[in-house]
Amino acid sequence: MSSLIQGKFSKWETVIGLEIHAQIKSNSKLFSSSSTKFGSSPNSQVSLFDAAMPGMLPVINEFCIKQAVKTGLGLKAKINRYSVFDRKNYFYADLPQGYQISQYKHPIIGEGAVTIDFKDGSSKDIRIVRLHLEQDAGKSLHDQNPSKTYVDLNRSGVALMEIVSEPDLNSSHEASLYITKIRSILMYLDTCDGNMQEGSLRTDVNISVRKPGEELGTRCEIKNLNSIKFIKQAIEYEAMRQIKIIEEGGIIEQNTLLFNPQLGKTKPMRSKEEAHDYRYFPDPDLLPLKLEDDFIEIIKKDIPELPDERKKRYINEYKLSNYDSSVLTIEKSISDYFDKVLGCHQDLKKSAKLVVNWITSELFAILKKNEVEIHNSPITPYNLGQLVKLIISNKISGKIAKDVFEDMYKNSLSPEEIVNSRGLAQVTNVKEIELIIDQILKLNYDKVNDYKAGKTKLLGFFVGQAMQISKGKANPKILNDILIKKLS
């Protein structure tokens, strides 16, 4: 798949690396026991440590370490047995200590990789450089008061994992696939809630452009993007901006940018004008973190089946396509639903593709229309499984099934209940169908003659008539067979 961008004079390649800041799912903060709950009243989840009161000291949360290791294992990355917490020094209103505790030279997780899948069935590996633990900052509110900035420290000190990729991404599409995949893995692992609206996953984009095969260009960093849509828009805008500058003979200045979603444009951050010098050094309040093999082994046992493994299972066991499998597995909730449907009955495994179709067309459509999440679907996986079973065992036709499906959604009933109460079961009794056919052949005597004279296209007409009388319940194959026999 070519991802080159056509400039005025030549084609350009975009080179993108992402830094994803994922909020760790934990009850308490990284170095204090304040709650991590979202949306509480201002400064209500702030300990003396979080507010950087004099003499307060950090004590690390074991669960956050486990979550980071678990994520590292999920990203098939190197787990570093020795890591160090450093101070990253800078001043900002929502950074109470005047430094952020982070990991610089010795991160807890080293190199790893994730695979992204394209629609055409191809895939690409994106290399991960590292994952490190760090504290989140508080929140500055600039529009509450005309002359003041307000500071809320509730988020200050919440644990983040910063996941840094190599610049292996070459388009906004790839970037969005990559983030979706990372989000998916984190949610399978239950190490991050993946809630982008609440800021649980924020991305810094490093982006440069070059002519294919040439040296890397100067990169710019777009800070703090919190939706996939904005990430795509920002990359597309920024790539074109850089191409335009270079094609017009200018040079790219290394810069930190902000994306304005209203305008769809990037612009340099004003507060970052002066160069930063973070003066990293090992935090003397904390000792190096040493992980024992046992500690890692126990976490390993806790790793669930991840999207790529599930995908493989779907391809191997159910003979699904690569694309279908990745559509199912990217959202854990969809994949879980699918697995539950198949778990209903042994027979469904042979008809997995039919189940996929029902999920990705009918179910997605009706859920979307009603704005319902799949895990809250009124149609339970069991009932959907039963419905598909009715179809494959010829109890109802596909057409009737759609009708039953609507009813299942509206009334949360099982398909059997609906089929029985509404008498929708397919008629497979040959005698019964013969009776219907005899009836329509008698009524349309002239058309029977036409058919016999060679107008075989009329077969469809007879099928339609018979179906109408059977209220769609006649088994189409049996109906067809009898009709042809009687007409010949």
Partner 1 sequence: MEFNTITESLEKINSNKISIVELNDIFINRIKKNKNLNAFIYFDEENISQQIKKIQSSKKNFKLKGIPLAIKDLFCTKNMPTTAGSKILQNFQPSYESHVSQKLLDQGSIFLGKANCDEFAMGSATNTSYYGNTINPISPRGSQLVPGGSSGGSAAAVAANLCLGATGTDTGGSIRQPASFCGVVGIKPTYGLCSRWGIIAFASSLDQAGVFANNIADTAILLREIAGHDNKDSTSANREIPNYFENLNQDMSGKVVGVPKEYILPDIPEDISKIWEQAIKSLERGGVKVKNISLPHTKYALPAYYIIAPAEASSNLARYDGVRYGFRSEEGTSLDEMYELTRSEGFGKEVKRRVLIGTYVLSAGYYEAYYMKAQKVRRLISNDFNEAFNECDFILTPTAPSPAFPIGEKEDDPIKMYLNDIFTVPASLAGIPGISIPFGKSQNGLPLGIQLLSKHFDEQLVLNAGLYLEKNNV
Partner 2 sequence: MKIDKNTTLKIAKLCRIKVRDEEIEELSSQLSSILDWVEKLNEVNTDNIEPLNNVSIATLPLRKDKENLQDQSKEVLSNAPEKLENYFAVPKVVE
The answer to whether 51 contacts partner 1 (rule: CB under 8 A) is yes
What the block records as the tokens of 463 is 């099928």
- Determine the 3-state secondary structure of 3 from DSSP: coil
The answer to whether 145 contacts partner 2 (rule: CB under 8 A) is yes
Site for partner 1 in 385-444 (CB under 8 A): none
Choose, by CB under 8 A, the member of 38, 150, 382, 461 that binds partner 2: 150
x/- letters, 156..195, toward partner 2 (CB under 8 A): ----------------------------------------
Choose, by CB under 8 A, the member of 1, 9, 59, 399 that binds partner 1: 59
Which residue number, 32 or 71, has a Cβ lying nearer to partner 1?
Answer: 32
The answer to whether 54 contacts partner 1 (rule: CB under 8 A) is yes
Q: Give CA–CA dist 278/68, Å, rounded.
A: 24
Q: Give CA–CA dist 372/412, Å, rounded.
A: 14
**Contact criterion met (CB below 8 Å) for 69 and 79:** yes
**Interaction partner, residue 480 (partner 2, partner 1, none; CB < 5-8 Å by kind):** none
Choose, by CB under 8 A, the member of 4, 286, 459, 469 that binds partner 2: 286
Choose, by CB under 8 A, the member of 149, 370, 449, 468 that binds partner 1: 149
Q: How far is the CB of 61 from partner 1 (least distance, A)?
A: 12
**Contact criterion met (CB below 8 Å) for 311 and 300:** no
**Contact criterion met (CB below 8 Å) for 205 and 14:** no
The answer to whether 59 contacts partner 2 (rule: CB under 8 A) is yes
CA geometry: angle at 338 spanning 332 and 343, to 5°?
125
Choose, by CB under 8 A, the member of 4, 19, 60, 123 that binds partner 2: 60
The conformational region for residue 467 under phi > 0 = left, psi -120 to 50 = alpha, else beta, is: alpha
- How many residues bind partner 2 (CB under 8 A)? The answer is 54
The residue range among 114-122, 139-147, 183-191, 308-316 that interacts with partner 2, by the rule CB under 8 A, is 139-147
Could you give the count of Cα atoms lying within 13 Å of 338 in the half-sphere of its Cβ?
31
**Interaction partner, residue 152 (partner 2, partner 1, none; CB < 5-8 Å by kind):** partner 2
Parallel, antiparallel, or unpaired: how do β-strands 5-6 and 11-23 relate? antiparallel
The answer to whether 44 contacts partner 2 (rule: CB under 8 A) is yes
Diameter over CA atoms, the chain: 102
Choose, by CB under 8 A, the member of 4, 60, 425, 463 that binds partner 1: 60
CA geometry: angle at 314 spanning 311 and 318, to 5°?
165
The answer to whether 197 contacts partner 2 (rule: CB under 8 A) is no
The answer to whether 52 contacts partner 1 (rule: CB under 8 A) is yes
Q: How far is the CB of 259 from partner 2 (least distance, A)?
A: 12
Contacts of 447 (CB under 8 A, 6+ apart): 458, 461, 462
- Determine the 3-state secondary structure of 403 from DSSP: helix
What the block records as the tokens of 56 is 């307060």
Choose, by CB under 8 A, the member of 252, 269, 425, 463 that binds partner 2: 269
Choose, by CB under 8 A, the member of 14, 23, 47, 103 that binds partner 2: 47
Q: Give CA–CA dist 207/105, Å, rounded.
A: 23
Choose, by CB under 8 A, the member of 55, 249, 284, 423 that binds partner 2: 284
Could you give the count of Cα atoms lying within 13 Å of 333 in the half-sphere of its Cβ?
11
The conformational region for residue 256 under phi > 0 = left, psi -120 to 50 = alpha, else beta, is: beta
Distance of CA 31 to the CA centre of its chain: 30
The answer to whether 260 contacts partner 2 (rule: CB under 8 A) is no
The answer to whether 96 contacts partner 1 (rule: CB under 8 A) is yes
Which residue number, 276 or 455, has a Cβ lying nearer to partner 2?
Answer: 276
**Contact criterion met (CB below 8 Å) for 94 and 120:** no
The answer to whether 146 contacts partner 1 (rule: CB under 8 A) is no
Which residue number, 253 or 277, has a Cβ lying nearer to partner 2?
Answer: 277
The answer to whether 213 contacts partner 1 (rule: CB under 8 A) is no
**Interaction partner, residue 452 (partner 2, partner 1, none; CB < 5-8 Å by kind):** none
Choose, by CB under 8 A, the member of 284, 423, 454, 460 that binds partner 1: 284
Q: Give CA–CA dist 79/71, Å, rounded.
A: 10
**Contact criterion met (CB below 8 Å) for 419 and 445:** no
Q: How far is the CB of 417 from partner 2 (least distance, A)?
A: 45
The answer to whether 135 contacts partner 2 (rule: CB under 8 A) is no
**Contact criterion met (CB below 8 Å) for 77 and 107:** no
The residue range among 176-184, 194-202, 275-283, 350-358 that interacts with partner 2, by the rule CB under 8 A, is 275-283
Q: Give CA–CA dist 339/314, Å, rounded.
A: 10
- How many residues bind partner 1 (CB under 8 A)? The answer is 29
Which residue number, 275 or 453, has a Cβ lying nearer to partner 2?
Answer: 275
Q: Give CA–CA dist 140/271, Å, rounded.
A: 13
What the block records as the tokens of 377 is 């679907």
Choose, by CB under 8 A, the member of 81, 244, 279, 399 that binds partner 1: 279
Distance of CA 311 to the CA centre of its chain: 14
Length of the chain: 488
The answer to whether 291 contacts partner 1 (rule: CB under 8 A) is no
Q: Give CA–CA dist 391/398, Å, rounded.
A: 6
Choose, by CB under 8 A, the member of 288, 304, 343, 464 that binds partner 2: 288
- In the complex, which residues of this chain contact partner 1 (CB under 8 A)? 48, 51-60, 87, 89, 91, 93, 96-99, 149, 151, 277, 279-281, 284-287
